[in-house]
Amino acid sequence: MDKILFIDDEPSVLDGFRRQLRKDFDLVTAPGGEEGLKLVEKEGPFPVIVSDMHMPFMNGIQVLAKARELAPDTVRIMLTGMADLQTAMNAVNQGNIFRFLTKPCSIESLSMALQAGVAQYRLITAERELLEKTLKGSIQAMADILALTNPVAFSRALRLRHYAAQMAKTLNLPNVWQFEVAALLSQVGCVTLPSEVLEKAFAGEALTPQEKEMFDAHPQVGGQLIINIPRLNTIAHMITHQQKPLSGLQLPAAEDASFTAEIGAHILKVAVDFDLFLSRGMTPERAKGSMADRGGYPPVLMAALARVETPRLEKSSLVVKVGELRNGMILAEDVRARGGGLVVNKDQEVSDTLRQRLKNFVLQGNIPDEIRVFVYQRVVAAT
């Protein structure tokens, strides 16, 4: 049975609901707003919450507004014996109320409202679950395409994801997943670039004017690809503006979508520059010092970068046949075709897609059947 939370300061009312609705619903009751909200946190989610309007300490509008923050998907119903237009308007506007019922309310009417609320909850959660699965699948598909078509860019994206996630966590930013996804997809626009140009750019080598124009366009290309995926508008902004000159940055008191997009782009810029210094052979500490000496980075981001740990692989390795590769293994060296072209960059983690790609190359006789890998991986603080 569906679990329904009733909040009312009158025990007799709660007892009546339990007796008359227990055959159709799993009722949980609370004698006040504070108690009800604690139940939302500890025993939720509830498909439906029904709250009385007039209660001591917290009225129904306050309770349902707070419940909305704690459990956005839960359907909220207001039950009151003193209905007036202003109360109804406040309840709808502040608590996003699904139904507004007046006492005395027949059990038949209440039961119908609860059934409608449960149906609405199922619809909301089903749509969200479908969207999340679609979103996750879209992100994974784009990452796999990047890994297959441009292993150099994908290898860099994995490193950027590591740096961006640590910086976002250090700054206590909400929705860290957004910064991780932005970093992982930040190099998607590189699918349009020749691998030789990428290798030069990522190694910090000088580019010709034509090559620089091509490379500088990749964030815009990537952003245009991402903008078409639902719920990724903010991430698309981060990717598009990852090379934008940095400006002063102050953390806001409350979560703000425009700020999230701005600081995400800034984090990507810092992560990209940090990775570029590392690719030139600098130690992490020297790279951070060089960036500090160069200046122009927001102090709050440099403080977060100072706490970033860089991934290090254990030195033990072994040689395995491509057919023996397992997910989680790390490539210990670049995999190149017999003609010298790069197939997969070193330090990539073996996945189903990568394993199939390597098998295809082996079947065509383009790469050796044996590859050196790291079996174990650990992340330690850089020194």
- Report how far residue 173's alpha carbon sits from residue 170's, in angstroms, rounded to the nearest whole number: 8
pLDDT (mean) for 8-15: 89
Confidence (pLDDT) at 201:
85
Does residue 96 carry a pLDDT above 80?
no
Give whole-number Cα distances, 340 to 48, 148, 334, in Å.
62, 17, 11
* Whether residues 10 and 114 fall in one domain: yes
DSSP element (H, E) containing 379: strand 377-379
Burial label for 182, CB within 10 Å (0-12, 13-18, 19+), is: buried
Q: In angstroms, what is the C-alpha Rg of the chain?
A: 27
Domain count, the chain: 3
Does residue 135 carry a pLDDT above 80?
no
Which CATH number characterizes residue 250's domain? 1.10.3210.10
Does residue 63 carry a pLDDT above 50?
yes
Burial label for 252, CB within 10 Å (0-12, 13-18, 19+), is: exposed
- For residue 114, the Cα-to-chain-centroid distance in whole angstroms is 33
Q: Is 190 inside a domain boundary? A: yes
pLDDT (mean) for 27-34: 92
Identity at 327, one-letter amino acid code: N
pLDDT in tens, 167-226: 999 998 888 889 999 999 999 998 888 878 887 887 778 899 999 999 999 999 999 989
Residue 140: partners with Cβ closer than 8 Å, 6 or more residues away: none
* Whether residues 187 and 248 fall in one domain: yes
DSSP element (H, E) containing 184: helix 176-184
* Whether residues 155 and 211 fall in one domain: yes
Mapping DSSP onto H, E and C, the string for 41-59 reads HHHCCCCEEEEECCCCCCC
Confidence (pLDDT) at 249:
60
Q: Is 140 inside a domain boundary? A: no
* Whether residues 241 and 337 fall in one domain: no
- Report how far residue 221's alpha carbon sits from residue 368's, in angstroms, rounded to the nearest whole number: 35
Does residue 381 carry a pLDDT above 60?
no
Domain end, chosen from 274, 308, 342, is at 308
Q: Is 145 inside a domain boundary? A: no
Q: Is 224 inside a domain boundary? A: yes
- Report how far residue 300's alpha carbon sits from residue 305's, in angstroms, rounded to the nearest whole number: 9
pLDDT (mean) for 86-113: 75
* Whether residues 357 and 342 fall in one domain: yes
Q: What are phi and psi of 246, to 5 degrees?
A: -75, 150
pLDDT (mean) for 32-49: 91
Q: Is 139 inside a domain boundary? A: no
- Give the pair of three-digit tokens for residue 372: 């050196």
Domain end, chosen from 126, 159, 190, is at 126
pLDDT in tens, 239-252: 999 988 776 665 55
Domain end, chosen from 94, 126, 158, is at 126
Mean pLDDT of the chain: 84
Query: Which residues partner with 329 through β-bridges?
Result: none
DSSP for residue 82: S
Q: Is the dihedral of CA 346, 202, 196, 265 positive or negative?
A: positive
Which CATH number characterizes residue 368's domain? 3.90.105
Does residue 383 carry a pLDDT above 60?
no
Long-range contacts formed by 193-201: CB under 8 A, 24+ apart: 193/150, 193/153, 193/218, 195/150, 195/152, 195/341, 195/342, 198/150, 198/152, 198/153, 199/152, 199/342
- Report how far residue 87's alpha carbon sits from residue 60's, in angstroms, rounded to the nearest whole number: 10
Does residue 54 carry a pLDDT above 80?
yes
Q: Choose the weakest-confidence range: 40-54, 62-76, 362-376.
A: 362-376
Residues spanned by the domain of 87: 3-126
pLDDT (mean) for 261-269: 93
* Whether residues 28 and 100 fall in one domain: yes
pLDDT (mean) for 66-76: 89
- What global pTM score does this model have? 0.60
Q: Choose the weakest-confidence range: 74-88, 149-163, 364-378.
A: 74-88
Of the pLDDT bands very low, low, confident and very high (cuts 50, 70, 90), residue 82 is low
* Whether residues 370 and 239 fall in one domain: no
pLDDT (mean) for 254-273: 84
Which CATH number characterizes residue 55's domain? 3.40.50.2300
Does residue 309 carry a pLDDT above 70?
yes
